[in-house]
Structures are given as C-alpha cells and as structure tokens.
Structure 1
Amino acid sequence: MRFTKGILFATALTLFFFQAFSQNWKVKQILLQSRWAKDVDPNHTLEAYPRPQMKRKAWTNLNGLWDYAITVQTSILPSNFDGKILVPYPLESALSGVQKGLKPEQNLWYRRIINRPKLKTGEKVLLHFGAVDWQATVFVNGKEAGNHTGGYTAFSFDITPFLNRENNEIVVKVYDPTDKGIGPHGKQVLNPANIYYTPSSGIWQTVWLETVPAVHISGLTSTPDVDQGVLKVVTNMAGTDENYSVRITAFSEGKKISSVNGKAGAQVSLEIPHAHLWFPDDPFLYDLSVELLKGNKVVDKVQSYFGMRKVAIQKDEKGFNRIFLNNKYVYNLGVLDQGFWPDGLYSAPTDEAMEFDIKAIKEMGFNTIRKHIKIEPVRWYYYADKLGMMVWQDMVNPNQSLPAGAKDEFEKEAKEALDQLHNYPSITTWVLFNERWGAYDQERLTKWMKDYDPSRIVNGHSGELLYVNDKLRSPSKQPYINSDLTDVHSYPDPRNPLQLPSKSMVLGEFGGVGVPVPGHQWDDLQGWGYVQVTPDQLERRYREMTNQLKTLEVQGLSGSIYTQPFDVEGEENGLMTYDREIIKIPMARLREINGTIIKSNDAVAKSVAVKDIDLHDTDERYAEFLKDFDNGKRDSVFLRRLILISLRQKDTVRTKELSSAYINSRNSLYTLENLRFISVITQKSTDPGLVLFKNNAEKVNAIFGPNAAARKIKDIIQREEIDPFLKNNMIPHWDEIQNKVKSKYGDFGEAYIIGRRLFYYWTVSKEWDKFGEYYVLYYKSQLKNNEFHINNISWDVFEHVSDKDVLAFAAEVMKYDIEQFDSTDPYAFDTYANILYKLGRKEEALKLERSALELADDKKVYLEAISKMEKGIPTWKTDN
C-alpha cells in the first residue's frame, strides 16, 4: 500500500498544530470516573518506561494525540480523519476522547507524524506496541512495516529502512471483531451484560520508539533455581549470526554480588550466593545487568531485575499436597482481579492508578491476585514483583464457539503470553481455561503448558466444576487431568474441590456478594451480584466465609480467590467501588479478618486513600433527599438516585416531577447514558420522557439506535392498552383499543395495534378470516417496517385462508420478500409457489417450486409438492 506525497505533506502540519489539538481534547462524559482521570494529560501520557525487565536509555514515548478514523473494512487509508484520539486509551473509553464502538465489519485507523531519532552509524529504530486489540498492520511512510494478531501481547518492528530524516508518517490499521472473530477476547463482548464488559478496541498500551545498535539484545529469559542457588539466563540477540558473548552481573542493593560470562543464545548459570528469597512479605529483588560483547567490546547493554523464588506442590507434615513457596507452605489468599477501569476500560488512567490496585489489594490483607482472563501491561507485573503479590495468570479465553482458526490463534497467543511474562517472579501459577469457556484438548494443553514452563504450577481447569447455591452446574467426566491443582468455583459460599493424588486443592472463585454504593455506580439501573446484601450485612457475611475457609484449610485447601476486589461495570460485588473511592468493609477490619488466614507484614505502607462505606446511606434517606431537591439540588447523580428511589417507593407523583427536572436540567440530553436512563424511567404515557421520544425521534434514534423511539412508544402502548387484557385471559376490546390509541398516537399508534391484532388472530385466537383481513391491513402500510417473519406468517395465510384477494396480496408480499431478503431460501420459494398454486396459477407455481428444489439440501418435501401440483392435487389441508 502506498500513500501520496500530498497526504504526507498535509499530515506533517499536525506537528505544528499539536498543542492546539491537545487543548481541544477532553474526557468524554460518563456517569462514573476515577480520581486519576483528572491527571491524564495528552502532552504527558503514561510516560513511565514501558518495559522494566529490559531497559535502555534511548527511547521515545509516542503516547498522546493521534489522528483516527473509522472506515468500512474494505477501505484503504482514509483521505480525511474523524478527529483526534488519545493513545493508548481504547476507542470505546472515555479517556480516548472518542468513546465510540467498533463494528466487526469496520477498521480503525491511527496516524501520527514523528521525527527520526538521531542515529549513530549502524543504529536501528524499533517501533514498539505494548498491545493492540486485535489485528494491527503498521505502515511507515506508506510502506507496510509489519503486522501482528493478538490483542494482549507486545510486538515491535524495525522501521529504520522506511524512515526519512523528518516528517515520518506512522499509520496503524486495526481490525477488532471482538467476540465475533477468531481471537481470544476475554470478557469483552459487543453487547455486554452481567459478567461481560465493554470492548477495548485498538491501541491500549504504550507505543514507543527505541534506538538500538545494529547487533543488539532482543530478549532475555531468566529462571531462578532456588535449590541450586543460581539464576539461569538466556540472552537472545538480533542483527547477526556471528558468535557474540554476554556478561551477566547481579547486584544486591547496589552492590555487585556475582557475574558470569557465556555465549549469546545459550543458557548460562549465574550464582546467587546466600540468596535473599522473594516472598510476598519480603519481596526482595536483585538488579541485573546484561552486556552483549564482541571480543572485549560492549556493543549493547540492558538493565533488568529478578527475584529468587520457587513454587511447587509439596506435602505438608499432615500429608496434604500444598502450594509451597521457596519450600514453605504459603496459603494463597487472593482476589479475582478483572483489570477494568470506568474511564479507561482496559487501560489504567495513569501509572499511579495501576500501582494503586495492587497496593489496595495488599492492604486489604491478600497475598495473591488471580489476574482474570486479561494480560496486563508489563509494568503491572513489575509492581506485583515490587510490592509482593503472588499472581495466578489466566490465559485469555478463545471465542467460546471455537470457529475455524480459533484454536490455532489461542495457542499462538498463549505461547506469546508465556514468553512475555516468564521473567516476572510474582507469577506463580498459569491458569489455562476458566470454567471451560472455549475449552478444548485440556489434557494436551495442560501438559504442554507444564512442559513449556516447569518453573511454575499449572491450573489447567479453573472452575471445571462450578457450583452455584450448592448446585453443580458443570459436571465433568475427567476433571483436572494433568493439572497441578484441583480447582472448584462455588458461589456464594466456599467449598473444597476434589482431593486427587499429587494435586493441591484450591477454591478458584467464590463470594460475589453484591453491595451497590449510590453515587459510585457504573450502571445505577441494574447492579449485579451472585447474592445481594445491605451494606451493614457484608462484613458479617465476609467474616462467615473466612471462617469457612479456615475449616476448609484444615481439610487440605491451599488457596482461595474471592470475587472480587473492585466492582466492574454492572457487577457490584467488589470489596471496593469501580472508581476505587469507597471500600465496603473498612480497611482495618478487612485486613484483620484476612489476618485469621495469613499473617501479613504489618509494615505494608498504609498509603491507599479510600473512604469507608456509609452504612446508613440507604433508601431511608428519601425524605432527606426530597428536601434537598426542593431546596434546588439538581446534579445528575443525585437526581438519578432520587428518581430510582421514588420508583421503588411507588411515589408516582414525585417520580413524574423528578423525571421532568432531570430532563429539563441536562445541558447535553442526547447522550447514550441519558437516553438509556430516561428510557428506563419512562414507563407510562403520562411520564415526561414519552414526550421526548415522540417529538424527537430522529435525535433519539441517532444516539440510542435505529427505531429506539418507536420501540419505547410501542412498549408503553402494549403495557397500558393490551397487557391488562392478556394477563387476565380476557379477549381484548380491539376496536376500542384501536380508536383510543389512534387518538393518542396517530397513524403510528394505529399501525402498531393493527400489527398486534394480526399477531393475536394468528397465534392466540386463530380466527383465520380476521387473520387474513389484518394481514392485508398490516402489510399495506408496514411491509418495509415488518416485525414478523414474512415467510412464516405468509405460509399460514396459504394454509388457512381461502379468500382469493388475500391470497393474491400474500403472493405480492412473498415476491417482495424473495427480492429483498430471501433470494436463496428454498422455504420462501416454496411458500410463494404454494400461494400461487392455491390461486390456480399452476405453471408459475411449478416454476417457483422447481427453484426451491434446486436450492434445497433435503429435496423430499419439494418433490412431493411438485408431484401434487403436476397432478392437480391440493397442497394444502382440506376437509377431505
């Protein structure tokens, strides 16, 4: 693909105007955002060094404002871009400044102009991407530099051959079908509900340039061997096939303790005398220097670090198989961390926010995080290493329907994840599949994972047995084969898994106790948890569960994962709210409860700033809130909460007043968030929201989706005018209803009632004469807005209606259906043919029936119809 010089010249102007564009960027309006959103600066975006395990000095951060465009998938580079997007926040996030969804048939484009770094002779420029979801193709000055599939792992390209001295154009094309494609997508789905969340398309981790020598270190693999007191290191290089050597040196608190020379590409063993071992309560890290040598000359050098730790399944003094860390039994007390943010989705707003999560979980008194079907930026694992947090790292689940290609893609991306994260001592456990989501070949893949990385334990089947309210939802014939762990999920109360030889027992998920916190909700309309309790009940419930864990531990349990540390979108079962502002059990008491399971280091810094939940902030404050409203309080969060309380209190008068105030006080009424809320609180024809949907349908549909306004009005008509009859098994007074609705809603309302009458005569009363009459009335005005399956309803016209005029009309309807929708559907041709045959148009009918025969796989029914038509026998049911 080549781009014109004119485009390059035009885009170069963005360098000059970059500051002006920065001033125009702002966070999109959302109901909930974290405290760190205010610290996001488009001129200084996530500036921390992105790869702590392999640091060099010569690098350039490319985060910031890029041009973006969304096009159809077949489009080449757009000539015009839609605006600016803040990299590296996902397209759908508020922090991106765009907050738009990406459809499976679309591409997302990024563009930025850069200057080439100053280079010495032979030096190269690498372009790095932390992660792009899902498929990325990178162009530099119009030429393809490379492509990568996989939404969670880093990749880079040598772009030196493509660079000019100045004004270099980088273009990234992204294709991300989310759950409609073959790639692993985790909990991202295009239509999220309950335990699934908003997608994160495009660039969502740091983009950066790095200057390297012609021959350079391309990767490190370091594996501690605690029993032998060595660190095993493999240094890979790029740029030549010649023999080079490496010098690897370890430092402890700035002092050199050991050094070794060896061959590049080969494993060398670096002795670590009197190793200071890594534990959650003592997360000691050594510094590591790796030098690439040609003769005695250092040609490249990187800085890294490592921790000395060992994880294994070993028997304790009572004969239980336990999880041992550095040859000591350590109970894994953990939480299920999803890694989502209200404002950044997959991307933490700032580096401080990313570190906060691990600090908060540590201060709660946990020593383990199960990172749930998401791969984080590598700085997250650096903080886990530094702060002392054991990590169970999930693989990202494949598309659960396993379309062709999904298995190969899953295995490719899983291997990339294992390679990328190998060096982080905090990761003690790999988790292959979660609750069998997209699971296949578990025996083979679990063995592969153990063989590929024998330095960790492997949980191949987390939640293969799943219990909800003590009922087994997912039986299995051969659970936990090849796994180091038996892992059960049990909601809400904990239980032990199966006890099997050589395997340790863990509880991979439990809890899920929901407590909504008003004013701190992503979705104030529908919070979710496996069980709901009031704020004052949560601490008691959590303490009871922890006491159960202590009993289970005596019986052999070695680890447990509570769902979850933070609320996530509609899930309100976190110990802390989604915005990380409110903790639902006071931190000191939560830490004290967890301290009955593990004794954590009290020296952990109490640096997490959160507020305790207000146990009295309930619907009982309704009178107080109404007083505030009467005194003029009108902010959005307050009004939304007050309206929802009034609905629960069935205070219809106040609900109407409050709803009017909400609609009238919004400066930007036509947002998805506002329209969704107004739709939910608009339940009656007298509600003020209905006027908005009736009088501003075009605006509503543009934001809320096609025909959204009509659907809301139809819903109210159905609820008020028709459902009272149907719920009481009464025959609706259709003529009365139709006249009443027409007087209130005009032709639109009358057309809806005609459709309801048609459906009633078709499926309930089976009055076929009326059915035929209303079939004609309905399709005369609603053929292009049809809400029924044309072929199905028209077949019943053929079978049950004898009126020639109705049949002739049905033939025209079927002709339209085939021309517009069903040109390859044999059933449609069959229906059309039979209607024509019943009208006496035999030759036309036979021609159509033969077309149906050609289209069909199973031809029997069509051959029978042709035979009857040729013999002049009715193809419809008769009294004879």
Structure 2
Amino acid sequence: MTHSKKLLYLFCYFLTFNLSAQENIPLPEHPRPDFERADWQNLNGNWAFEFDKNDVGLTQKWHSSAKPFTKTISVPFPWGSPLSGVKDEADIAWYKKSITINPSWKGKKVFVTIGASDWETTVWLDGKLLGSHKGGYTPFSFELTNVKHGAKQNLVIRVDDKRRDFTLYGKQGYGNARGLWQTIYLEGRGQNYIDAIHFTPDIDKSEVKVTTYLAKPAPQDIALSVSIDGPQSTATRQTFPKGQTEYSFTIPMPSARLWDLEDPYLYNTTVKLGDDEVKSYFGMRKISTVNLPGTNYKYIALNNKPVYMQLALDQSYHPEGFYTFPTDEFMKNEILIARNIGLNGIRTHIKVDVPRKLYWADKLGVLVMSDLPNSWGEPDKNAQQESEYTLKEMIKRDYNHPAIFSWITFNETWGLRTKKVVNGKTENIYTPETQKWVASVYRLAKSLDATRLVEDNSICCGAGHTETDINSWHEYLPGWEWENHLKMIDEKTFVGSDFHYEKGYKQTDVPNINSECGNVWGYEGSTGDCDWSWDYHRMINTFRKYPKIAGWLYTEHHDVINEWNGYVRFDRSEKDLGVQEMVKGMSLKDFHAPFYISTGNEISKTAQANEVVTVPLYASFMTDRTDVGNKLTLKINLYGYDALGQEKTWSSMERTIDYQPWLQKELPSIDVKMPNEKAVVTMSLVLVDNAGNELHHNVMNFIVDAPTPAEIVLLSGKKARLVSVNARDFKSAKWSAKQWNVLDGLKINGAGNGYFEYAFKIPSGLDLNNVESVAFVVEAGAKQLFAKDMDKKLKGNENYMLGAIADPVQNPNAYAMTDMKKFPSSVSVSVNGTFAGRYDLPDDPSDHRGVLSWHNQLKDKKLREAGSYGYRLGVNIPQKAIEEAKKTGELVVRLEVPESMNGGLAIYGDKFGRYPLNPTAVFVLK
C-alpha cells in the first residue's frame, strides 16, 4: 500500500470511528475510573439479539453462522428491563455486534471486558471461541487472538441465565439482571499487562503500599513506575521481578491530605509496567475501631476518629434498568440523596454495585458497606464455591475504593440453611458445619483485605454471629417499641456475651450497630406505603439515648416493589415529611444531626388543660467540634391549634446547655405548662450556638384533652358561640364508590363523587339577630380509593423477594405518604340549600403533620390511615341560609364532590388529622 493510500485509509477509518463515538450510546463513560487505560472503546448501545428458548444455538452454531438475529437490545441493560428494549422471553440469549479494532492498537494485546453478566457467558470473535465465564457480578476479560485491525469483525456472545439454586441471585425479584448488565468495552493492553493494582494507605506511618498483580509470571524483569498526583506529587521507579505475579513496595506520603467525609480527597495515580499503563486513584484513610471518648463503647472509626454510623439500606435498583442505572448522573445523584439528608453511608444490599456508583461515593464522601449477594438454595459445595469466588473477585475489583469500609459476607442467613428432618419434621437448619464455613469465609475476607472490617452475617430471625468485626443486628418495630428493645440490647451487649452469637461463639470487643431498622416490617404484614416519618422520629430519638449502640441503618434509601418506606420513591421523586411546617428550619437532616436534643421515645403526649408537664431532655453530641463554644442555647416554643383550628402561640423559654465534644447524657428535665383550652400543642426545640447558628431542630406534641368550648375568642378578639358535631354523626351521605369510617368514625371517608350532610341546631337562647356572621369550619381532605379499601380482595404472589408485583396500597396498613404526586379533589359547600362556596382540596396527605392520626392509633401492630390529615376550611355562610335557619332552627351543611372531580372527601374529627376540630358552626357575636 502506498503512503498516500495508507493516509486515505486511516482518514476514512478515523472518520468512521469518530462518527461512531458520537452516537448516543448509554453509559459512555469509562466504567472503572479506578482502573482505566487510555486505549479503550465502549461497546454499549444497540446489539443484534436473539432468544434461544430451546437451547439450539450451540448445535446450530449461531456463533459462526450468518443467521440473522431478529431483535435489537440496548446494552448494557439486562434483557427484560424496559431500558433494554426487549421483553424477558427465555433463559438463554445471544448478542451480536460488528466491531472494528483501532489500527493504532497494533502491537498491543486486545481484550474485550464485560463489567458483569449473569450468569454463564461465552464469547466468540468471527466464530472463534475466546472463552467462557461463570458468575453474575464481577468483571472478566478475554483476549482477542484473531484481531484484524481496522477491519469489521463479528463479536458474538451467548448468555445462559437459567435459574440455579447455588448461583448468587440476591433480590433480583425486584428485576432480573439477565445477561449483560454492565458496560462492555475493548481495550488495548501492553504485552505484560497489569491485572490489578491495590493501594493500601497507612496514615499512621504516612505511607501507601502499592501492590501490582500480573495475570501470569513476568517473563523477565520489567520496569515499573508509579506517579501520584496530589499536594506533594511524587513518583517512584521499581523493577517487577522475573517469575513473579505480585510485587509490593511502599511510597512515603508525608503530610498527606486525608480522605474523610467532609474532604474526600483522592490521589490520582499512573502506573506503568513496561508498555502497559493504567490510571487509578486511592484515598489516604484508615478504617478501624476505637472507643467513643469517655466511654468503653467500641465505635467504627475513620482516620482514628469514631463515626456514629447513620446509614441507609440501598437496594440499588432502578425501575427501568433494574440492576443498571440509566446514566452516570443518576448514579451520582444516588450518592447525593444520602449525603444531602445527612447520612454518612449506605449499605449496598445483596448486590456488588456498579463501579462508577462507588466512584461517586469516593468523590462525594459517603461510606459504603458492601454486601456479597446470596443464593437461595442450600449451602452445598457449589454454593460455597460460588460465594468464595465472587467474594475474591469483588474485593479484587473494589479494593481501591476508600468509601468502602466493610465487607458483609452473608445476610440474614439467606442461602445458609439446610433442610434436615428433626423429630419427623423437616426444618431449615443453620448447621454447626455451615457456621464453621461462614467463620472461614470471614477469615478469607480478612486475608484478602486486612484494611477493612468484615461481618460474617448481618443477622436476623434467630440466627447469630460466629466471627465478626461488627456485632450487627436487624430489627423492625413500631415507634413505641424501640425504647424497650434498645434498652435490652444495651444491657445484653458486652465482651464475652453470647447474645446475638451462635453456640460456641462469643462477642469480642467490637462495635454494636443496627444494620437494618425501620417500621416497614414492624406491623402485621408490613406497613405497605405509609408515612414512615413518625415512627422514624421515635426510633432515632431513642437510638440517640443509647450511645453504646454505635449506629443504625434504616431500610431504606429508595422504595422498591414491595417496600415503600424509602426516603424517596422508586423513581427517586421526593416525599414530604411535613416537619418544615411544624418547626421553622427543620428537615429530615435534623434526624441525622451531629448535635441532637430530644425528648426521648415519646413525641406526643396527652395532657390536661393548665397541666404542668415534666418533659425529659437528652443530649447526644456525636462530634468533636470545638468552634461552637462551651455553652449552647436551647430555644423552646409552644404553639399550635385550638379547638377551632386557629393558630396560636402560648409560651417560650430558653435553656443554657454545657457543651463538650462527644457528650452523651440526660439533661435536667423541663416543666412546660399547657394552655387552658383544648389544643394540639407543638413544642419546638432549637439548639443554637453563640454565633446564632441553628445546630439542630426537634419537636414534641401535646394533645390537650378538654371539651370543645361552647364559646371561644377568635383571633380578631371577637367572641363566638360554637356548635360542633362528631365527624361520624352526619345526617346523610351518598357516594358513588364507597363510604366508610376509620376507628369508629374518628375520620369518615367518601370515595368518588357524592356528599356528606351535617345538621347544626341553633343554640337555645341564641338570637340570630344578634349574630354578626356565621361560618362553618371543618378539616377535610381528598379521598383516594386505595386497593386495600376496595370490596374485592386482590390476589397476588406474596414472595416479593422472588418477583411478585404488589400494589403499594394493597396492604391493609397502607396510606400513601405525601409525595410529589397529588390526588386532588374539590368540594362544593351549600347551607340550607344555598351555595356557600367551592374549595379545592389539593391532596389526601399523610405525614408528620397528622399528629392526631398517629397519636390515636391503637398499639396492636396495625395501622389505620396513620398520619393522614386534611385542610382547614372556613366557609362563610350566606345571609340567605341564615335567614332560613331562623325559620327551621338549624343549619344543614352539605359538602359535595361533583362528578366532574370525582376525588372523594375525608372529614376529620377532633381526634384524627391535624387539628383538634370537629365539624363546627361558628356564630360570631356582635
């Protein structure tokens, strides 16, 4: 070929290559910023695709034949996921794509790397077998041995994802990771290429250990260099010795900038081995355990300082991509969701997470507990091999992520029980032999990575620990049960205790943390979709009373198909806790604040008018900050709603609190005088430093139990006579869908279109001629007819872990928590046949503002529209209706939802909802 023809050829190639690179392919970024070569080509995007329902592809040689594939799939989304573009029609499928190897890669070894594919994956190039891999979560590569640089070649992949009891399936019932589910790419490597690089920081010695791994022994001594970019850039040259596959050395890191949660600094590195070059990064940080200062309570530590663990269980699922996220920005936002609400970590649950998501945890400063996925069969030889292989590979892949602070090898004994016949009955037993194996897996993980903590089994449901660095436990409870439970945990946790441990094993000097909690499974059959914030508030208040328990892990980061108690919805839209309206400046972040003041487990209390209530106070300062001074101010205000739903302020006070780092103690209680009237009282607690910065907000509620007064002073200063009726005492009702009552009529519901009608007798002795005006006041909301309230019973597979689909409000305990999606209604009010006005009802909300609806729940592990509340409507009654009342002696109020709106109507009484208000006629006196 002449020189000019060669240039023309290369120009055409690069033109084609660049156009291809500009295609809108999913997840175009390099999948592993911690292990990246410059010569790489992303193969994500559209591939030809064919299901192999009868498993004939191998015998018919689909890998080498010209057989056309009839479907197109978007890689790397698992087949069956909406983003893949294909439905789940079979257990075996084939992929085909035309690829072109960059001519500039001549002289390099060319590999195809698949980030993850579930489960048995076989790859051919132009009909030649490259290799096969078994496993569903970790990357693997095959060398392309018949490369034709610059020419089109056919890459064919077969994936067999038949269910096998021993494979690590995890919670793929939320959406199967079928086939390719992480980025696939080509890369050019050196002749003696780097298989892995591990950086082991040692902040105590101010150095980092660098270990370089080869896939096979070095054929000769090879030049090795490592450069580190940072505040003090450094470079070192070494020689990788002949015959070795592993070589380590240390690099001094004087005055290193540490990686921590506020300053997650990463050192970028370049490692060159002969003609191979890889870019990576690491963080100078240390994971260990230390005592909480002033105590003998063991805590997980970052850089030798205790960290009070406040984590979320992260199922790491996407509604349309299942295991695979649609964009890199989405993965970044997953980490930001946790960070922005004040959490310091997540637990990626039963899934080896996507490297770029871990990268964002590294970049943004969020800690990660990393789970080994589980099988659902018995722990036979195949299951044990699969677990150990995946554990080794996940540690190898993710070793350099500073965000990861622990490996969890098993969860809730899933995949660890063996069927045994005991006394003629078949039982699933966690056998002593399996326990020994679990302990050996703990030791295996420690041998692979001595820099992190390892947990043998995140325990639940009667199973215990063997050997572990963390004494963790799961518990799901209603809010009121946390006090007794945490007190019990506190008392039974000590070195040498056999509590939470299997027979023959005892607690060592390790941190005790909760590793799953919440109310979701704390009620009969779970909560369904409900307001989680009330029970969450009680739970967190209680955890902060017991600092011997070194942290908690809430279930969960986002909703999934059978658990709707996430901080955000499955689509990551926000939920509304309502606390911002209860205390100015308060948010979800206050429940995770390092400075914490609370009243303990009780966040609502019944009181009497004029009663002086003694309120306990607890301080939990999980911080070593010294910039706030040694005196803090607690501002306490009492305000709320009277019997007419009028907003009032009753009193305020201040308290000085001595501050010292890591302080955990009960403070002197406060005496709070209740108002001399029926009311819902909000007591706000705002902790302020000397500079006026608000460090923490909290809230407690009092329900002042008193009769609805016959007469009241309005905010205008005028007097008014009141006539109230119970919400359930309506005169008549008619609804197109359904009418029913909650808790014997504390709240009444009408679904669809229709009306409720109330009658109010004019008080004896009241001359309407001496009345300036008349109003009707009520708390009302829209009323959606949820699946649980329909008369027909819905059927469904209850094994949600393995793929059941559930309606979020099918659960009898459910009442959808307030979120961005609204269910509006409107109500037309007429009095004595005269139209008085039409009022919009924006939603049927349920959150922290529904104080009465939570306070009056029965403690029987069932929920009845808990947290639901409405809107205060004040309706001015027309003079024509008043004139009619003079004749009849009553006001008949009809609240009607028109057919055009069809949004239903809920009426709240004085013991449900937000206001201590029954439907009330208000006669304002002249």
TM-score with structure 1 setting the length: 0.58
Q: Give the aligned residue type for 1:227.
A: D
4+ residue runs of structure 1 moved beyond 4 angstroms? Answer: 162-165, 597-602, 618-627, 646-652
1:175 and 2:160 matched: yes
Which protein has greater RCO, CA pairs closer than 8 Å, 6+ apart?
Answer: 2
Kept in 2, the 8 Å contact 1:512–1:574? The answer is no
Q: How does 1:154-233 map to 2 (within 5 A)?
A: 154-163=139-148, 165-178=150-163, 180-188=164-172, 192=173, 197-233=174-210
Q: Give the aligned residue type for 1:551.
A: K
The change in CA–CA distance for 1:530 and 1:492 in structure 2 (over 3 A counts) is: farther
**1:645, distance to aligned residue in structure 2 (A):** 1.2
Q: Which residue of 1 aligns with 2:565?
A: 573
Q: Which residue of 2 aligns with 1:64?
A: 45
Q: Which residue of 1 aligns with 2:785?
A: 645
Kept in 2, the 8 Å contact 1:69–1:109? The answer is yes
Q: Which residue of 2 aligns with 1:310?
A: 286
- Note the alpha carbon deviations across 1:755-784, whole angstroms, 9 max, x for none: xxxxxxxxxxxxxxxxxxxxxxxxxxxxxx
**1:86, distance to aligned residue in structure 2 (A):** 0.3
Q: Which residue of 2 aligns with 1:501?
A: 508
Q: Which residue of 1 aligns with 2:527?
A: 531
1:250 and 2:228 matched: yes
Which of 483, 499, 506 is equivalent to 2:468? 483
- Identical columns (%): 30
SS at match of 2:82: coil
Quote the Cα distance in structure 2 between the aligned partners of 1:262 and 1:585.
Answer: 59
Quote the Cα distance in structure 2 between the aligned partners of 1:530 and 1:122.
Answer: 60
Quote the Cα distance in structure 2 between the aligned partners of 1:552 and 1:215.
Answer: 55
SS at match of 1:354: helix
Quote the Cα distance in structure 1 between the aligned partners of 2:319 and 2:329.
Answer: 16
Quote the Cα distance in structure 1 between the aligned partners of 2:540 and 2:350.
Answer: 25
1:357 and 2:338 matched: no
Quote the Cα distance in structure 2 between the aligned partners of 1:117 and 1:379.
Answer: 25
Q: Give the aligned residue type for 2:371.
A: D
Q: How does 1:78-117 map to 2 (within 5 A)?
A: 78=62, 79-103=67-91, 107-117=92-102
- Note the alpha carbon deviations across 1:481-509, whole angstroms, 9 max, x for none: 22111111101265437433322101111
Q: Give the aligned residue type for 1:341.
A: H
Which of 540, 544, 561 is equivalent to 1:546? 540
**1:182, distance to aligned residue in structure 2 (A):** 2.4
Kept in 2, the 8 Å contact 1:281–1:600? The answer is no
SS at match of 1:304: strand
Which of 540, 548, 554 is equivalent to 1:562? 554
The change in CA–CA distance for 1:325 and 1:164 in structure 2 (over 3 A counts) is: closer
Quote the Cα distance in structure 2 between the aligned partners of 1:566 and 1:55.
Answer: 31
SS at match of 1:279: coil
Quote the Cα distance in structure 2 between the aligned partners of 1:557 and 1:455.
Answer: 23
The change in CA–CA distance for 1:363 and 1:599 in structure 2 (over 3 A counts) is: farther
The change in CA–CA distance for 1:491 and 1:161 in structure 2 (over 3 A counts) is: same
Kept in 1, the 8 Å contact 2:196–2:396? The answer is no
SS at match of 2:157: strand
Quote the Cα distance in structure 2 between the aligned partners of 1:334 and 1:646.
Answer: 32
**1:542, distance to aligned residue in structure 2 (A):** 1.3
**1:181, distance to aligned residue in structure 2 (A):** 3.9
Which of 52, 56, 63 is equivalent to 2:33? 52
Q: Which structure's residues are more often strand, by fraction?
A: 2
Q: Which structure's residues are more often helix, by fraction?
A: 1
Q: How does 1:438-517 map to 2 (within 5 A)?
A: 438-439=415-416, 440=434, 441-463=437-459, 466=460, 473-474=461-462, 476=463, 479-492=464-477, 495=486, 496=489, 498-499=493-494, 500-513=507-520
Kept in 2, the 8 Å contact 1:70–1:82? The answer is no
Quote the Cα distance in structure 2 between the aligned partners of 1:584 and 1:676.
Answer: 23
**1:406, distance to aligned residue in structure 2 (A):** 1.7
Quote the Cα distance in structure 2 between the aligned partners of 1:456 and 1:647.
Answer: 46
SS at match of 1:582: coil
Q: Give the aligned residue type for 2:71.
A: G
Quote the Cα distance in structure 2 between the aligned partners of 1:65 and 1:315.
Answer: 54
SS at match of 1:571: coil
Which of 333, 339, 348 is equivalent to 2:325? 348
Q: How does 1:605-624 map to 2 (within 5 A)?
A: none
Q: How does 1:19-58 map to 2 (within 5 A)?
A: 43-58=24-39
The change in CA–CA distance for 1:147 and 1:484 in structure 2 (over 3 A counts) is: same
The change in CA–CA distance for 1:647 and 1:544 in structure 2 (over 3 A counts) is: closer
Unaligned runs of 5+ in 1: 1-14, 23-40, 294-298, 467-472, 516-526, 603-617, 628-641, 656-672, 681-880
Quote the Cα distance in structure 1 between the aligned partners of 2:524 and 2:325.
Answer: 23
Q: How does 1:370-769 map to 2 (within 5 A)?
A: 370-402=347-379, 405-439=382-416, 440=434, 441-463=437-459, 466=460, 473-474=461-462, 476=463, 479-492=464-477, 495=486, 496=489, 498-499=493-494, 500-513=507-520, 530-532=526-528, 534-535=530-531, 538-553=532-547, 556-585=548-577, 589-595=587-593, 596=596, 645=785
Quote the Cα distance in structure 2 between the aligned partners of 1:363 and 1:159.
Answer: 45
Q: How does 1:857-868 map to 2 (within 5 A)?
A: none
Q: Which residue of 2 aligns with 1:278?
A: 259
1:268 and 2:275 matched: no
SS at match of 2:444: helix
Q: Give the aligned residue type for 1:186.
A: G
Q: Give the aligned residue type for 1:547.
A: N
Q: Which residue of 1 aligns with 2:219?
A: 241
Quote the Cα distance in structure 1 between the aligned partners of 2:567 and 2:88.
Answer: 30
SS at match of 1:336: strand
Quote the Cα distance in structure 2 between the aligned partners of 1:433 and 1:647.
Answer: 36
Paired residue total: 552
SS at match of 1:429: strand
The change in CA–CA distance for 1:528 and 1:118 in structure 2 (over 3 A counts) is: farther
**1:108, distance to aligned residue in structure 2 (A):** 1.1
**1:95, distance to aligned residue in structure 2 (A):** 0.3
Kept in 2, the 8 Å contact 1:365–1:600? The answer is no
Q: Which residue of 1 aligns with 2:57?
A: 75
**1:322, distance to aligned residue in structure 2 (A):** 1.7
SS at match of 1:305: strand
Q: Give the aligned residue type for 1:143.
A: K
The change in CA–CA distance for 1:122 and 1:354 in structure 2 (over 3 A counts) is: same
Kept in 1, the 8 Å contact 2:269–2:279? The answer is yes
Kept in 2, the 8 Å contact 1:508–1:560? The answer is yes
Which of 138, 151, 162 is equivalent to 1:153? 138
Q: How does 1:783-862 map to 2 (within 5 A)?
A: none
Q: Which residue of 2 aligns with 1:136?
A: 121
SS at match of 2:33: coil
Quote the Cα distance in structure 2 between the aligned partners of 1:600 and 1:580.
Answer: 34
The change in CA–CA distance for 1:646 and 1:313 in structure 2 (over 3 A counts) is: closer
Quote the Cα distance in structure 1 between the aligned partners of 2:473 and 2:521.
Answer: 21
Kept in 2, the 8 Å contact 1:622–1:645? The answer is no
**1:124, distance to aligned residue in structure 2 (A):** 1.8
- Note the alpha carbon deviations across 1:712-738, whole angstroms, 9 max, x for none: xxxxxxxxxxxxxxxxxxxxxxxxxxx
Quote the Cα distance in structure 1 between the aligned partners of 2:214 and 2:444.
Answer: 26
Q: Which residue of 2 aligns with 1:338?
A: 315
SS at match of 1:241: coil
**1:52, distance to aligned residue in structure 2 (A):** 0.5
SS at match of 2:405: strand
Which of 277, 299, 308 is equivalent to 1:301? 277
**1:626, distance to aligned residue in structure 2 (A):** 5.1
